[in-house]
Amino acid sequence: MNKDKAKEFFLHRFLKQYKLGWIGGFKDILTMVIFYMSMISFTLIVITAYNTGLREWLLVYFPWMKIYIFYGFFLLVALFAMIIEYKFVYPSFYAFRSQQEYKHQSPLRSDLALCLKKLDEISAELKEIREEKEEEEDQIGYPFPKIIGVNIPPQLKKEKGDKKS
């Protein structure tokens, strides 16, 4: 089995993806709600951990460790995790997500295809217009301004060997 066939089998048969329209939306909304629920859970877990055995141990070894400092320490740990997530995980996460959205008939993909088709049509029309302008310039011998810069009449163009006066 060559490398391409193995890749084909692995990606399109073994890891074949299925479209279940409702489950993606449900999971997305659930993810948004879990953020708020986890803030509540985090606060309750820190308070419970502090009050069920850790307080006595902490006060022996760290007498200055009050509950707000204990909570603040865990907030700093969470902040550090957020920085690591932002710097390293996000770029690959969104690259993967974008690849999946493009692969699975995203509305943006069809819109992009339409835009590219229209761009090709506009480019063809622009090419025709440019060719007509060049033909007109050749017929009357007068240089019309181009989109970038101005045509220089052949009489005024200096050859490469000419020295500047």
Q: What is the pTM of this model?
A: 0.47
Burial class for 76, CB neighbours closer than 10 Å (0-12, 13-18, 19+): exposed
pLDDT band at 157 (very low <50, low <70, confident <90, very high): low
Three-class DSSP category at 147: coil
Q: Are residues 100 and 54 part of one domain?
A: yes
Q: Are residues 56 and 66 part of one domain?
A: yes
Residue 120 sits at φ, ψ, to 5 deg, of: -60, -40
Interval 113-137: pLDDT, tens: 899 999 999 999 999 998 888 777 7
- Helix ranges, the chain (H): 3-9, 21-49, 55-61, 67-84, 90-103, 107-140
In this predicted model, which residue has the larger pLDDT, 27 or 154?
27
Q: Are residues 54 and 39 part of one domain?
A: yes
Q: Does residue 165 lie in a domain region?
A: no
Rounded to the nearest 10 degrees, the angle between the axes of helix 90-103 and helix 107-140 is 80
Q: Are residues 71 and 43 part of one domain?
A: yes
Q: Does residue 124 lie in a domain region?
A: yes
Interval 31-54: pLDDT, tens: 989 989 999 999 999 899 888 888
In this predicted model, which residue has the larger pLDDT, 104 or 164?
104
| pLDDT for 148 | 53
Domain count, the chain: 2
Q: What angle do CA 71, 74, 75 make, to 5 degrees?
A: 85
Interval 82-102: pLDDT, tens: 999 999 988 898 888 888 877
Q: What angle do CA 94, 100, 106 make, to 5 degrees?
A: 110
Structural domain containing residue 129: 105-141
Tokens (6 digits) for 33: 């709600």
